[in-house]
Structure 1
């Protein structure tokens, strides 16, 4: 009877044939379930967690950051600053092959970095300080920056290396334009140097990867998992049912409500840790009237008093207790504590004050409130839709009628990239562990100096922009830290974003696995050993 219920649920989600129709898999296969698929296989098209999560298995950057927060050589064997403090030299790893058998060289590294800096790339903001990439020899490159950018190695950890010859042969010298859903050869095909090769891919259904026989890391990493079956399963209950029935081995996006009962199951292992990610609300603070509001003649969110009223209406501790069941850390800054520049003084979570919030709305000219649409993901962050519903309830107490529109991450991301939202839920991780990454993407004026790619708030301040740009060129740490604090002071004062909480991430898996929660929420399967 239980099996029949699980089968019916899977049929409803469109994955029954994928899971239950498959023959039993051998011990070295790991069936890996997530709530959402990567939206493209082009590694430079979009900068988001689900894409990096899958692509790190098949592509590789010069450097990665492991679960302990340290940088680890990958396709770069070593790196150092030259006598010129604006130039870094990278010694590339020799003997590395792409999945088509061709050899990785400096030509591929130069091409990949230039491709990732191109206007179509969603990775360009993180590389904005780079002015030139040159080949010194077949296995040495140099990267010149606008100033002595000490964070350059940190900025490279999600910049995957492509074969220049393969890209040219297939007409993908430029990244896919994801904002208009462009289809290119790189959208559904890969040719990386990573430990796994692509066997098959059905978007939003099933992706199969197999261990690459000529992987350079043989003998250096365990490589005990020889096949990965990646299964996007949107329904939380179906993901858990698949784990309990033995149809999947590892659930990365574990529903909060199932944590306790899965911990009690002796067949399973549950790992938990803080994720390097803040969940927040973004607001259109520009001067033009809102698209998704009943206020047509002006933008209420452009008035700081309205933004402060929203801030005072939201009860972050209630979200932690009632929505997140304790698995969140309320915050007042869009920087996780992992991040350089995080300041406890900015992270004071105040108590809701509905009386003052209503008074602020009245002062701004909205004594009876107004209506607005809150765009929300329903497949990306822990209890994301429930967070939005709770937010709507809080705002309703001060007279703001909030219509929650829930949708998949791909649609939400496209809306943010196309400035087609006024009020939205989003999350942000900081792979560089430095505030500049947040400023480059979320605070800087959109489109200027190759920065601001994910800033949908319409916030623009030339003085703040200049300070953000200076961070990549400032060699004096005290001066740089003072600039970071100054930028945060403006961000906090202007209430550009409404931070909600830091996520606590939970993984559940069969006992043969022991996969720790990486702060970046990216498991590197080449590193994991199977229990004997």
Structure 2
């Protein structure tokens, strides 16, 4: 039986490869764009600068805006626009010392005044984004005041102990923009003005965004003078554009699927780079409906899914199986054994379903090329424990809408790690009022988890904090409020004429890329 579904995996993968390769063969190579050391064209699966109504205007990977605090390669807080900091009163007071040699793209100075105005903007209310929402209460919980001490020193005061504040501020949690690009409602009034190594000079919504090197950047200047990043949503078209020379690299999440990454390296003109990703893929089970309102059924689903073979056969090991809802890039991540036990799964399911079979609706995002094959395999496994699965392939917005209304049993979702703070992830999925718990009708509640999350906010001993987070992870693995499948890998592919095109945890560092003849 195992051989049957492994064979099915390979059939799905090979079918995708042959379809795309054959499609590529019909495309003319006369469409290539001349690229050189001063200008390159890249491709992404979504538009990376959604514009004025997005909380950040553009993705961090464009190198246009920078945060006060970023992350190092191990996921720990690292200096960026704040070069150092000081914690006082057990985390109720934080003082940040800013860089003094930074200017925005419009030539204005970055200083304490601009930081204060960025906080003023955040206080105007929640701002939506295709990346991560901007909510001052999420990134700065119990914040009482923010004030300028001098031109390059800012003080934050909190009502409660906030020892993990640096993790909350990493990257999207402390993005800084020139106040000149803010409108009265807190949106942007024009192209975003940041401090990064690149500035946006043209943004054609849903088509492309053009970047130009910022010559007054305070650190090492970007190697390439101009970069055009095209929005190419269809993976077939992205692959074909890369092979035909229309673009010389792909980036962002889902830049290139595993089966095409394996294929493209057979061509000696191209290379692939991988790294861990902040994205985790999981199944949301409607905990407000039978049968998933019973923990035994959630456990049965988890045990029935052979994650190792799923990742090996369908994702060609470009992913890491997991049962832990916390992403593996978090410094607090704990590794657990990934169990597959069909006999135990059958027994648990029988306790819930008795001797009956039950039909369930399984929602997937039809725009992701491998989700249908993945759903078919998982449906096959779930049929073994008495679930007859009906797959519905939808646009993502429709899928999210139906999930929020509770009109589903299983839905395939994903979660990125906006910063290094595990509290936000656990709260969202495991607290009764958590955002994902509510929006995906998980119906999850555990008194011990609630008490631990309320307790950890006030603990300043790092060992004790880690022990609490370990315990919450243990509970999540046992009770499976959602069914984690695997942690993504960031996969990028590029023309070998590019140097330093290295996959990071999130995107690539555009400023380090060089064109070599």
Partner of 1:134: 147
Take 1:154 and 1:419, find their aligned partners in 2: how far apart are those partners? 33
Instruction: Report if the CA contact (8 A) 1:430-1:437 is conserved.
Output: no
Q: How does 1:432-511 map to 2 (within 5 A)?
A: 432-446=419-433, 457-461=442-446, 463-511=448-496
Q: Secondary structure at the match of 1:371?
A: strand
Take 2:34 and 2:51, find their aligned partners in 1: how far apart are those partners? 28
Question: How many angstroms does 1:377 deviate by?
Answer: 3.0
Take 2:126 and 2:89, find their aligned partners in 1: how far apart are those partners? 33
* 1:184-206 deviations in Å (ceiling 9; x for gaps): x56x7422222222233333322
Question: How many angstroms does 1:501 deviate by?
Answer: 1.5
Partner of 1:99: 105
Give the alignment partner of residue 87 of structure 1, picking from 93, 107, 111: 93
Instruction: Report if the CA contact (8 A) 1:442-1:454 is conserved.
Output: no
Q: Secondary structure at the match of 1:470?
A: helix
Take 1:70 and 1:340, find their aligned partners in 2: how far apart are those partners? 7
Question: How many angstroms does 1:315 deviate by?
Answer: 1.5
Question: How many angstroms does 1:283 deviate by?
Answer: 1.9
Give the alignment partner of residue 149 of structure 1, picking from 155, 162, 183: 162
Take 2:418 and 2:362, find their aligned partners in 1: how far apart are those partners? 27
Q: Secondary structure at the match of 2:238?
A: helix
Partner of 2:193: 191
* 1:297-326 deviations in Å (ceiling 9; x for gaps): xx3211112212212221112212221122
Instruction: Report if the CA contact (8 A) 1:44-1:116 is conserved.
Output: no
Take 1:334 and 1:476, find their aligned partners in 2: how far apart are those partners? 24
Give the alignment partner of residue 47 of structure 2, picking from 29, 37, 49: 37
Q: How does 1:194-213 map to 2 (within 5 A)?
A: 194-213=196-215
Take 1:302 and 1:399, find their aligned partners in 2: how far apart are those partners? 16
Partner of 2:302: 311
Distance change >3 Å, CA 417–CA 51, structure 1 → 2: farther
Partner of 1:392: 379
Q: Secondary structure at the match of 1:325?
A: coil
Distance change >3 Å, CA 190–CA 453, structure 1 → 2: farther
* 1:179-231 deviations in Å (ceiling 9; x for gaps): xxxxxx56x742222222223333332222222343x32xx224112222222
RMSD, aligned α-carbons:
3.5
Take 2:74 and 2:484, find their aligned partners in 1: how far apart are those partners? 26
Partner of 1:427: 414
Q: How does 1:71-82 map to 2 (within 5 A)?
A: 71-82=77-88
Take 1:395 and 1:259, find their aligned partners in 2: how far apart are those partners? 29
Distance change >3 Å, CA 211–CA 482, structure 1 → 2: same
Partner of 2:5: none
Take 1:367 and 1:189, find their aligned partners in 2: how far apart are those partners? 61
Partner of 1:237: 236
Take 1:79 and 1:530, find their aligned partners in 2: how far apart are those partners? 38
Take 1:444 and 1:137, find their aligned partners in 2: how far apart are those partners? 40
Show structure 2 runs of 5+ residues with no match. Answer: 1-19, 128-132
Partner of 1:269: 271
Partner of 1:516: 502
Show structure 1 runs of 5+ residues with no match. Answer: 11-15, 176-184, 290-298
Q: How does 1:396-407 map to 2 (within 5 A)?
A: 396-407=383-394
Distance change >3 Å, CA 466–CA 200, structure 1 → 2: farther
Question: How many angstroms does 1:25 deviate by?
Answer: 4.3
Question: How many angstroms does 1:126 deviate by?
Answer: 3.4
- Are 2:226 and 1:227 equivalent residues in the alignment? yes
Distance change >3 Å, CA 367–CA 107, structure 1 → 2: farther
Take 2:281 and 2:165, find their aligned partners in 1: how far apart are those partners? 26
Partner of 2:71: 65
Distance change >3 Å, CA 492–CA 79, structure 1 → 2: same
Q: How does 1:307-456 map to 2 (within 5 A)?
A: 307-344=298-335, 347-353=336-342, 355-365=343-353, 367-379=355-367, 383-407=370-394, 422-446=409-433
**TM-score normalised to the size of structure 1?**
0.79
Q: Secondary structure at the match of 1:404?
A: strand
Partner of 1:178: none
Take 1:39 and 1:209, find their aligned partners in 2: how far apart are those partners? 11
Partner of 2:172: 158
**TM-score normalised to the size of structure 2?**
0.81
* 1:21-60 deviations in Å (ceiling 9; x for gaps): x9634432232212223483469748xxx96355x52221
Instruction: Report if the CA contact (8 A) 1:200-1:207 is conserved.
Output: yes
How many residues are treated as equivalent by the alignment? Answer: 485
Distance change >3 Å, CA 484–CA 142, structure 1 → 2: same
Question: How many angstroms does 1:409 deviate by?
Answer: 5.0
Distance change >3 Å, CA 103–CA 431, structure 1 → 2: same
